[in-house]
């Protein structure tokens, strides 16, 4: 304490390494008298008492960093030489509690979170220890799969200006910066001891910021952050809990239909080029046309995915187009009317069907025994090809790596 100017500076001493840390300065002109003289000090818990020449007994609260007169001045205490037999061993105990809420629902109702929704992260930093923290800082990052909402960061009741530029704003706490209790002045690093866990607006430092869930997110957004402060003279970093937000992403499916005239060839590996809808595939009686549909999912999982295609009305579906004769150790495959190459796409002008990943599957024309069906009735009257991926459906993909596959069948001009 100073006995010449009206303030009290407090330092926390770490006896283990003989370092001291400035905890804070307290001024109270009504109590701290620059013309007075402090004759002695004593400590009881988090309270320091000082007796002065003028008979004041001041009480200095290390948890709140406040000073007050402890009763009226009494001349009988003049120059009393207070002393303690114990040094108070005071320690800050800092915790960070994080939560996330959906604050706007431009995309999805209720609590479901989809790309485009806005999430607000709120972090409550609390000192439940026995001495104030002098230099608390907070650092956080923007979770993968989200984008920071400009000018959405607050510390206690005050907005915090963004870092970066107007065009590319950066959440200011991406770099560690000071926080503090509201009553100590927000953001000066001073985190007072809090005795009211149920009230988070008095001595807790409260940080919040918002993010928009990207259109191409991971399936889940996770976020953890760090609070650093000085305890026992050394830096201490604590992490908050991790909050996780499952994201619901709509499927984004595109289809590409290709065809080629493989003539009267009966080869299992014809080499005619596939054309898309911009090219007329000329046929004559007896020719066989192979149709392939490439499906791609650049969004979320498409449960119960069913793909159908009609057999053209002038043609007859070939229910055994992909039959293979018996080979050594492999029995013949019959009634194979649907060629399925999961995991593989097919491009215009390709001259071969793609191989499936991990394997090509020759599906039967019969219904109910596998994912494929090819009929000669229904549809436009000449039957229909169906690929049914069941309840699991078509798995999620991204715009850079869509989940894909190709399914083919053949039909003959009578």
Nearer to Ca ion, 196 or 377 (CB): 196
Work out whether 366 is an interface residue with Ca ion (CB under 5 A): yes
Could you give the C-alpha distances from 65 to 50, 184, 194, in angstroms and in order?
15, 9, 12
The residue range among 77-85, 196-204, 213-221, 321-329 that interacts with Ca ion, by the rule CB under 5 A, is 196-204
Q: What is the DSSP string of 136-181?
A: -EEE--PPTTEEEPTT--EETTEE---EE-SSSEE-GGGS-EE---
Radius of gyration of the chain (CA): 37
Q: Is 196 in the site for Ca ion (CB under 5 A)?
A: yes
Q: Is 9 in the site for Ca ion (CB under 5 A)?
A: no
Q: Taking the complex as a whole, how short is the minimal distance between the CB of residue 407 and Ca ion, in angstroms?
A: 12
Tell me how long the chain is: 414
Under a CB-based contact definition with an 8 Å cutoff, are residues 385 and 338 in contact? yes
CB of 196 to Ca ion, least distance (A): 4
Residues 277, 278, 279, 284: what is their CA dihedral angle, to the nearest 10 degrees? 40
Look at residue 184 and give its three-state secondary structure: helix
In the complex with Ca ion, the residue whose CB is nearer, 203 or 382, is: 203
Q: Which of 336, 309, 307, 310 is nearest to 394 (CA)?
A: 307
Alpha carbon 394 to its chain's center: 24
Binder to Ca ion among 187, 189, 217, 372 (CB under 5 A)? 372
Which parts of 65-111 are beta strand (E)? 66-69, 94-104
Chain-centroid distance, C-alpha 49: 49
User: Contact with Ca ion (CB under 5 A): which of 364, 375, 388, 410?
Assistant: 364
Please report whether residue 217 would count as binding Ca ion according to CB under 5 A: no
> By CB under 5 A, which span of 60-68, 91-99, 190-198, 219-227 interacts with Ca ion?
190-198
Nearest-approach distance from CB 178 to Ca ion, in angstroms: 19
Minimum CB distance to Ca ion, residue 36 (Å): 34
The answer to the question of residue 370 lying near Ca ion (CB under 5 A) is yes
Among 104, 199, 234, 314, binds Ca ion (CB under 5 A): 199
Does residue number 202 form part of the binding site for Ca ion (CB under 5 A)? Answer: yes
Q: Under the rule (CB under 5 A), what is the footprint of Ca ion?
A: 194, 196, 199, 202, 363-364, 366, 369-370, 372
């Amino acid at each position: 304490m100073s006995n010449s100017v009206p303030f009290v500076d407090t330092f926390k001493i770490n006896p283990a390494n003989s370092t001291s840390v400035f905890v804070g300065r307290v001024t109270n002109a009504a109590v701290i008298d620059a013309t007075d003289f402090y004759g002695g000090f004593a400590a009881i818990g988090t309270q320091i008492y000082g007796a002065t020449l003028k008979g004041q007994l001041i009480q200095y609260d290390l948890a709140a960093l406040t000073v007050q007169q402890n009763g009226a001045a009494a001349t009988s205490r003049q120059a009393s030489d207070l002393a303690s037999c114990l040094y108070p061993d005071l320690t800050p105990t800092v915790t960070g509690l994080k939560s996330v809420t959906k604050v706007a629902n431009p995309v999805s109702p209720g609590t479901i979170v989809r790309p485009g929704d806005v999430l607000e992260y709120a972090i409550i930093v609390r000192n439940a220890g026995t001495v104030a923290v002098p230099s608390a800082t907070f650092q956080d990052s923007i979770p993968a799969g989200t984008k920071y909402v400009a000018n959405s960061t607050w510390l206690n009741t005050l907005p915090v200006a963004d870092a970066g530029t107007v065009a590319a704003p950066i959440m200011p706490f991406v770099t560690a910066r000071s926080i503090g209790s509201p009553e100590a002045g927000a953001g000066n690093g001073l985190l007072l001891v809090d005795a009211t866990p149920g009230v988070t607006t008095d001595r807790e430092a409260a940080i919040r910021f918002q993010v928009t869930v990207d259109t191409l997110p991971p399936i889940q957004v996770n976020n953890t952050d760090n609070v650093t402060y000085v305890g026992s003279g050394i830096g201490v970093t604590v992490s908050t809990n991790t909050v996780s937000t499952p994201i619901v992403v709509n499927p984004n499916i595109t289809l590409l239909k290709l065809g080629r005239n493989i003539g009267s060839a009966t080869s299992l590996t014809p080499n005619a080029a596939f054309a898309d809808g911009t090219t007329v595939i000329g046929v004559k009686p007896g020719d066989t046309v192979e149709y392939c549909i490439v499906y791609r999912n650049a969004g979320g999982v498409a449960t119960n995915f069913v793909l159908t295609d009609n057999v053209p009305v002038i043609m007859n579906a070939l229910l055994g187009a992909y039959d293979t004769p018996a080979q050594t150790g492999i029995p013949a495959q019959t009634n194979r009317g649907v060629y399925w190459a999961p995991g593989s796409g097919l491009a215009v002008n390709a001259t071969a069907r793609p191989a499936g990943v991990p394997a090509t599957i020759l599906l039967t024309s019969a219904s109910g025994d596998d994912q494929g069906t090819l009929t000669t009735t229904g549809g436009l009257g000449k039957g229909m090809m169906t690929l049914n991926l069941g309840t699991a459906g078509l798995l999620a993909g991204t715009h850079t790596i869509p989940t894909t596959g190709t399914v083919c069948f053949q039909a003959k001009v009578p």
